[in-house]
A and B are shown apart, each in its own frame.
Chain A
Amino acid sequence: MEPRKNMLSSLWHELFGDPIRAFGVVSLVLLISLAIAPAKNYFSEWRHYQNQYLQMVRRRGEAVTLQRHFQGGIQQVWLPELGVVDRCTTCHVALKEASLADVAIQPFRKHPVIPHRLDQYGCVMCHRGQGAATTVEEAHRSTLAWEQPILPAKYTQSSCGQCHRGNLTGAAQLNEGRYLLSRYGCAHCHTIKLPAGTAMQPTDDPPSLEHVADKTTREWIYAWLKDPQAYALTASMPNFKLSDADARDISAFLIASSSAIPQDTAPVNAAKTAPDPTAGATLYGESFCASCHAVQNAAGNIVGGDVGPELTRVGSKVKAEWLQVWLRNPRIYDPGTAMPHYRFDDHQVSVLTGFLQAKTDADLLANVHLEAATPDQIGHGKSLVTEYGCAACHEINGIKRPENFAPELTRVGSKPVNQLVFLPGMAHTLPDYLAAKIRNPRSFGAALKMPQFSFTPAQVDALTTALLSLTDRSQNLPPSMTVPALPVSNYQPAGKAGHLMADLACFSCHAINGRGGDMAPDLSWEGSAVQQQWLKDFLKNPNTLRPALIRRMPKFNLSDNDITELTDYIMTVYQTPAFDRDSMPAGGYPPTLVEQGKQIFYSKYGCQSCHIVDSKVDKGYVGPTLTQVGSRLNAAWVYNWLKNPQALRPGTTEPNRGMTDDDARALTAFLMMQKGTVKQEVKK
């Protein structure tokens, strides 16, 4: 201790021993401390990058132009409407330099092409991060808990979703994520209020369990609860990771609480015939069940649509009596089902039942042995059903639908990181948290209720993107900056035809006036497009218009009265205001005009690359076959379609050829002569 004290006192003496020396030392210290601020500025990161950039461009051919574009000092984009202050362009100096496309070094890369001007929205609107910061660390990594770090590139589309509330071309991942949020029923449990004031609606339509005992057995329910994907690979029901006892008790409760179907459900009284697999397969094919229902084939591939449930093992699930009732009229069991009411006769019902009942899997229920349920088990099952929120998705007798069962996700994209509980070893960012939560919810605690979904990594990314778009900024945007989604249409056709269309579930595949599916053509203007007789024939016996398509219009076995009712309604109501359907004659065109139309069909416009007029010569498989187009379509529709296809059906594949009126008239004349023959029709 002693020598150090001596050292200090000698040091003091050295520096401040006499007044002149002390004055010199103090002046020096003052000078140095005054120089700190300018030095800090001089040695700042952004100045370093700007110098580096100037050095880089000096060696390039277009150096003079680049130097002229360059502006030194702190650069700033200020968007008071959005509360955005962006200084990113201070270091990212070359975002707009098209000639620097070959530079891959950051921060000097040119910005890739996007549909917006860079100075219109700045950088943080899309990339997040701290726009006002002027150091790399503060701008990108955002060390403070309430700040948003830079968004990883794979989630950038989430920022599009802040303003674009509807489907957005070019943002496939965002669209997919939003679709999955509805399709997998996230919105059943999590409230997601959209900025427009509505809430996101789930589209998965989980079945009601009020009459479940009529439909299936307790053993199947048990196996399903334990692992839904073991029954159907494509099942959207998540796995709740239930213990054997819990699955036993829930299945006991669901069977005990089930009530009988209220309507007359007398079994089909067709003579009990041995199942005929060939007839069944034919009827299954003819009815185009595969348009909506998938089946796993021998190679393990899922083949078919995803509107209805997968049927690979349906024989191990449903009871034969129930299936007959369902096939005869699905609306008896579920009035809101997407399945059409096919008018099958008793024989067809029994053939199809036999065919579907043969689709069994012996392994599925081999190890399920359940004793008769005790009242205790049923009671415990009921409390589990309440606890897991089963009624948020399914209607269950005696259980109320829970409100706000899971945390609201309306502003989840702005959730501060300090409100999140991370797992050890995971990156402390919101995107990583959301992705981990979607991928494996129970890894955050075995007692959590959120079940395990079976999403692919790409689906997890898409869902995370959609969730990250639900930000404070999105909720608070000025209305002038938003692009609203198309309004949800609850269009309902009127009268008897309306009842028929609901019964046939037309909206499951076709859209009309903004409501309905996209599997089949939009019918909003069908009355302007087709001829009445053709529509009648088509509804009676739908033949193939587009040979390349697998999904086709099924035959509903409609009565003549029903067909007339539907045809009259469609022909009268679904008319476009764009033209008068009687403005062109259906036939009687001069032969020279027809011949001219034929010439330009083949030579000038090359229509045969996509269409078939003469089935012996033409091979085009993209658009509909035109061999009978003169008996199918209305002449004025053909003419107007040729003039501008997208005007009649936005997004249709056929390009707008900018045809002259003369060419369009000649082609219409040629096409209207393609009447086909009855013989050909039978062959097809």
Chain B
Amino acid sequence: MKRFLLTILVAAAVMAVSGCARKSPGAELKPTAFGSALVESSGGKQIGLVGAALAQPLVVQVNDDQGAAVPGALVDFSGPAGITFDPAKAITDSSGQVTTNVALGGMAGRYELTATTFSKAHKIINLKLEEIALGYQQQLGQQLNERYCSRCHDPESTPERVSNYDNLEVKPHPFTEGEALNKLSDADLTAIISHGGPALNKFVLMPPYGLTLSKAEIQALISYIRLVSDPPYQVSQMVYGGK
């Protein structure tokens, strides 16, 4: 009887161990080199849709003390619940870089990602990156921004759209300009959008949109402005991990 129970126990243990082993495919990745710094090459600060893959992959580079690229170092990506990396773990290529495709989680907000590598002395080196996921409301705001605001508020011209920013004597705030815009409350922003610049003694060239946009549309626009502002508007917009 005892022997029978023992056999079952051993079998269960073997199965559990083998099951666990299959769950960690990255286990065979062994770094051949170690760096001392981690820098972003491209792919940070992107704006994507909730749950969807970002348009550009995230590329980070491992450097040594002299700032030269280190091939063969291990980089680990992590982030809040819901975010996925493909791959989540990789060895730097010949140019010292690791490329991963990021899909954001199901909640709208800012996602703080962390890329991690180890120095020779097993010291943890972290690089914090940020990506933005738009929910329904922020996406609507983004569309309204494209239609009504960006011609003046976005200084960048594109082949499809020449910016009017440089033509204005008092420069409008780009929506990423958190330092200026974060000081304005939601009520202030609503007033400026609805009644124009003069509503808050701002410049007359900002026209009123209160009769053009609905209340819900103005709210959507504000939620978009809040989400893309840099530095962030409120800590509560960060998406935290945990279950």
Indicate if the CB atoms of B52 and A548 lie closer than 8 Å. Answer: no
Indicate if the CB atoms of A622 and B151 lie closer than 8 Å. Answer: yes
Indicate if the CB atoms of A621 and B208 lie closer than 8 Å. Answer: no
Q: Is B180 an interface residue (CB 8 A)?
A: no
Tell me the complex Cα distance, A550–B161, Å: 8
In the complex, which residue of chain A has the Cβ closest to the Cβ of B137? A113
Most A Cβ at <10 Å: residue of B148, B152, B212:
B212
Out of A104, A113, A604, name the residue touching B223 (CB < 8 Å).
A113
Indicate if the CB atoms of A609 and B207 lie closer than 8 Å. Answer: yes
**Stretch of B12-20, B121-129, B181-189, B234-242 that contacts chain A:** B234-242
Task: Encode contact with B along A91-118: 1 for CB under 8 Å, 0 otherwise.
Answer: 0000000000110111001001111000
Tell me the complex Cα distance, A113–B215, Å: 13
Indicate if the CB atoms of B143 and A172 lie closer than 8 Å. Answer: yes
In the complex, which residue of chain B has the Cβ closest to the Cβ of A3? B1
Tell me the complex Cα distance, A4–B208, Å: 91
Q: Is A153 an interface residue (CB 8 A)?
A: yes
Out of A104, A114, A154, A653, name the residue touching B49 (CB < 8 Å).
A154
Indicate if the CB atoms of B151 and A152 lie closer than 8 Å. Answer: no
Q: Could you tell me the distance in whole angstroms from the C-beta of B163 to the nearest C-beta in chain A?
A: 8
Q: Could you tell me the distance in whole angstroms from the C-beta of A339 to the nearest C-beta in chain B?
A: 22
In the complex, which residue of chain B has the Cβ closest to the Cβ of A458? B55
Q: Is B209 an interface residue (CB 8 A)?
A: yes
Q: Is A86 an interface residue (CB 8 A)?
A: no
Tell me the complex Cα distance, A548–B49, Å: 30
Indicate if the CB atoms of B242 and A105 lie closer than 8 Å. Answer: yes
Question: Per DSSP, are chain B's interface residues mostly helix, strand or loop, or mixed?
Answer: loop
Indicate if the CB atoms of B160 and A655 lie closer than 8 Å. Answer: no
Which B157-198 residues have a C-beta within 8 angstroms of A? 159-162, 164, 167-168, 197
Indicate if the CB atoms of B164 and A621 lie closer than 8 Å. Answer: yes
Q: A548-B161, A646-B212 are in contact. Are A619 and B167 (CB under 8 A)?
A: yes
Q: Is B37 an interface residue (CB 8 A)?
A: no
Out of B52, B107, B135, B197, name the residue touching A104 (CB < 8 Å).
B107
Q: A621-B162, A622-B164 are in contact. Are A606 and B136 (CB under 8 A)?
A: no
Which B197-215 residues have a C-beta within 8 angstroms of A? 197, 203-212
Indicate if the CB atoms of A606 and B211 lie closer than 8 Å. Answer: no
Q: Is A230 an interface residue (CB 8 A)?
A: no
Indicate if the CB atoms of B239 and A610 lie closer than 8 Å. Answer: no
Tell me the complex Cα distance, A608–B152, Å: 12
Tell me the complex Cα distance, A536–B227, Å: 49
Indicate if the CB atoms of B49 and A606 lie closer than 8 Å. Answer: no
Q: Could you tell me the distance in whole angstroms from the C-beta of B205 to the nearest C-beta in chain A?
A: 4
Indicate if the CB atoms of A112 and B136 lie closer than 8 Å. Answer: yes
Indicate if the CB atoms of A603 and B204 lie closer than 8 Å. Answer: yes
Out of B49, B106, B167, name the residue touching A621 (CB < 8 Å).
B167
Which B24-71 residues have a C-beta within 8 angstroms of A? 49-53, 55
Count, chain B residues at interface, CB 8 A: 51
Task: Encode contact with B along A227-238: 1 for CB under 8 Å, 0 otherwise.
Answer: 000000000000
Indicate if the CB atoms of B152 and A115 lie closer than 8 Å. Answer: no
Q: Could you tell me the distance in whole angstroms from the C-beta of A149 to the nearest C-beta in chain B?
A: 14
In the complex, which residue of chain A has the Cβ closest to the Cβ of B148? A653
Out of B140, B151, B167, B240, name the residue touching A169 (CB < 8 Å).
B140
Indicate if the CB atoms of A550 and B143 lie closer than 8 Å. Answer: no
Q: A112-B108, A152-B51, A457-B53 are in contact. Are A655 and B212 (CB under 8 A)?
A: yes
Tell me the complex Cα distance, A65–B197, Å: 38
Q: Could you tell me the distance in whole angstroms from the C-beta of B106 to the nearest C-beta in chain A?
A: 3
In the complex, which residue of chain B has the Cβ closest to the Cβ of A457? B53
Tell me the complex Cα distance, A156–B147, Å: 24
Q: A169-B140, A646-B212, A655-B148 are in contact. Are A153 and B50 (CB under 8 A)?
A: yes
Q: Is B219 an interface residue (CB 8 A)?
A: yes
Task: Encode contact with B along A142-180: 1 for CB under 8 Å, 0 otherwise.
Answer: 000000000011111000000000000110110000000
Q: Is B97 an interface residue (CB 8 A)?
A: no
Q: Which 3 A-B pairs have the closest CB atoms?
A: A153-B51, A153-B106, A154-B51
A selection of 28 A-B contacts at a CB cut-off of 8 Å is: A101-B236, A102-B236, A104-B80, A104-B107, A104-B242, A112-B107, A112-B137, A113-B137, A113-B223, A153-B50, A154-B50, A154-B103, A156-B51, A170-B136, A173-B52, A456-B55, A458-B53, A458-B55, A461-B52, A548-B161, A606-B206, A610-B151, A620-B167, A653-B148, A655-B211, A656-B212, A658-B208, A658-B210
* Residues of B that sit less than 8 Å from A by CB: 1, 49-53, 55, 80, 101, 103, 105-108, 135-137, 139-140, 143, 147-148, 151-152, 159-162, 164, 167-168, 197, 203-212, 216, 219-220, 223, 236, 239-240, 242-243
* Residues of A that sit less than 8 Å from B by CB: 4, 101-102, 104-106, 109, 112-115, 152-156, 169-170, 172-173, 303, 456-458, 461, 547-548, 550, 603-606, 608-610, 619-622, 646, 651, 653, 655-658
Q: A113-B135, A655-B207, A655-B208 are in contact. List 4 more A-B contacts (CB 8 A).
A: A104-B80, A105-B243, A609-B207, A621-B167
